[in-house]
């Protein structure tokens, strides 16, 4: 059952006493007990500039919140990837600081040391943007390096464990396998076993100057047979192209530098060992960075949401900034029920606008769903 949150802001005058705590109680009492739980979401008072600046900042914060949520999602997916698809293990790493993300949300407190509230809102937005971009770049860069090295390791391993169309041919004895002179060369062709008869019938006519009856089976596995064919160097490219057209796989000699079978195999084993160590090292670094990145991206996201709530609250309810913010934890199925009860209790806040805006967008709402109060809906995995 997916967890959904409604982040709501109400003016304190929803209570007769105009008291913040009583306004929060009014919000709590509106949510059916079997539909959700309400937590105090403390939003500080920020330095307010001109109205037109607030309108621009509202748009910036809308984009920043969307971007932050996207980065949190991408880093969360990176954790799943690093744990080879194990969702439970990845979920255990999705902490914000030393708390699971849901606990962080439910006990949110603005970080006044990192994001000083005496700074202009525009400066706070830029600080959050810069931090988010840095997190996204660092995690993506490290994950790309890890994935590239992991792919190289898998490719190297396939050379020793795959079929004859991909595996290393270092086991072949070059002195017994290859003809290489001024004019002649040896082609190595991996042919699917069900096509060997067709290959033996037609290989001589694939390209000019292919030596008749030169095909020799060198090795076979369950899927492929490996043949050597002698031909002239000047038609080598044409011969290999014709083989590919028939889905026969030209292979390159593992001894192109004149190394022996034993030395080539040893070099391949050393390369696999090196790539294994490098993959393990990079995987550890990527995991640490993803874990830290998730924490920092989630912090950025929630702080951006808090700042957005404040800006939209001022634009919606005006000054002085007398409001209360509450976080409603619910589920996907119960979300609509919560919204319906909230609309019934606080729909009057929209005045006449509430009558004509039910199908359109408005400040403080998710796109396409208007309500008379400031409300943001989001999910947490």
Whether 100 contacts 94, CB under 8 Å: yes
What local confidence, expressed as pLDDT, does residue 256 receive?
Answer: 46
What local confidence, expressed as pLDDT, does residue 358 receive?
Answer: 46
The set of residues, in sequence order, having a beta carbon less than 8 Å from that of 211 and lying 6+ positions away, is: 184, 229, 230, 231
Whether 79 contacts 90, CB under 8 Å: yes
Strands (E) across the chain are located at 3-11, 37-40, 95-96, 99-100, 184-192, 216-220, 224-232, 249-251, 323-331, 374-380
Pair of tokens at residue 148: 């590239």
10 Å CB burial of residue 127 (0-12, 13-18, 19+) is: middle
Q: Whats the size of the chain, residue-wise?
A: 381
Q: What's the CA angle centered on 5, arms 371 and 128, to 5 degrees?
A: 95
What local confidence, expressed as pLDDT, does residue 362 receive?
Answer: 39
What local confidence, expressed as pLDDT, does residue 306 receive?
Answer: 98
Residue 213 DSSP one-character state: T
User: Cα 314 vs. chain centroid, distance in angstroms?
Assistant: 35
- Tens digit of each residue's pLDDT, the chain (381 residues): 579 999 999 999 999 999 999 999 999 999 999 999 999 999 999 999 888 899 999 999 999 999 999 999 999 999 999 999 999 999 999 999 989 999 999 999 999 999 999 999 999 999 999 999 999 999 999 999 999 999 999 988 887 778 999 888 877 877 777 777 889 999 999 999 999 999 999 999 999 999 999 999 999 999 999 999 999 999 999 999 999 999 999 998 755 444 555 566 778 889 999 999 999 999 999 999 999 999 999 999 999 999 999 999 999 999 999 999 999 999 988 999 999 999 999 999 986 444 444 433 333 454 446 789 999 999 987
What is the rounded CA–CA span in Å between residue 220 and residue 40? 70
What is the rounded CA–CA span in Å between residue 49 and residue 4? 33
């Amino acid at each position: 059952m997916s967890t959904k949150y409604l982040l709501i802001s109400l003016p304190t005058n929803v209570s007769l006493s105009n008291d913040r705590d009583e306004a929060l109680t009014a919000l709590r009492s509106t949510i059916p007990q079997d539909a959700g739980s309400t937590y105090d979401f403390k939003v500080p008072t920020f330095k307010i500039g001109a109205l037109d600046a607030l309108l621009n900042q509202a748009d910036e914060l809308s984009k920043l919140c969307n971007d932050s949520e996207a980065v949190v999602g991408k880093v969360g997916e990176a954790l799943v990837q690093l744990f080879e698809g194990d969702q439970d293990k990845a979920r255990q790493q999705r902490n914000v600081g030393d708390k699971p993300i849901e606990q962080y949300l439910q006990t949110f407190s603005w970080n006044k040391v990192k994001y000083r509230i005496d700074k202009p809102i525009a400066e706070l937005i830029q600080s959050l943007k810069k931090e988010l971009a840095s997190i996204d770049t660092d995690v993506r860069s490290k994950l790309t390096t890890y994935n590239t090295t992991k792919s190289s390791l898998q490719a190297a391993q396939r050379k020793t464990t795959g079929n004859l169309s991909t595996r290393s041919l270092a086991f072949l004895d070059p002195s017994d396998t290859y003809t290489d002179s001024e004019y002649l060369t040896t082609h190595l062709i991996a042919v699917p076993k069900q096509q060997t008869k067709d290959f033996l019938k037609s290989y001589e006519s694939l390209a000019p100057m292919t030596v008749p009856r030169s095909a020799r089976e060198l090795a076979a596995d369950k899927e492929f047979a490996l043949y050597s064919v002698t031909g002239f160097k000047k038609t080598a490219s044409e011969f290999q192209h014709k083989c590919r057209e028939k889905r026969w796989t030209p292979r390159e000699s593992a001894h192109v530098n004149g190394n022996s079978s034993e030395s080539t195999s040893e070099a391949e084993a050393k390369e696999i060992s090196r790539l294994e160590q490098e993959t393990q090292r990079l995987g550890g670094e990527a995991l640490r960075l993803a874990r830290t990145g998730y924490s920092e991206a989630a912090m950025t996201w929630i702080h951006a949401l808090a700042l957005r709530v404040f800006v939209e609250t001022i634009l919606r309810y005006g000054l002085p900034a007398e409001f209360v913010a509450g976080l409603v934890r619910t589920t996907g199925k119960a979300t609509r029920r919560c919204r319906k009860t909230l609309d019934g209790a606080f729909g009057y806040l929209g005045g006449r606008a509430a009558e004509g805006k039910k199908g359109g967008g408005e400040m403080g709402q998710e796109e396409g769903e208007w309500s008379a109060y400031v409300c943001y809906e989001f999910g947490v995995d």
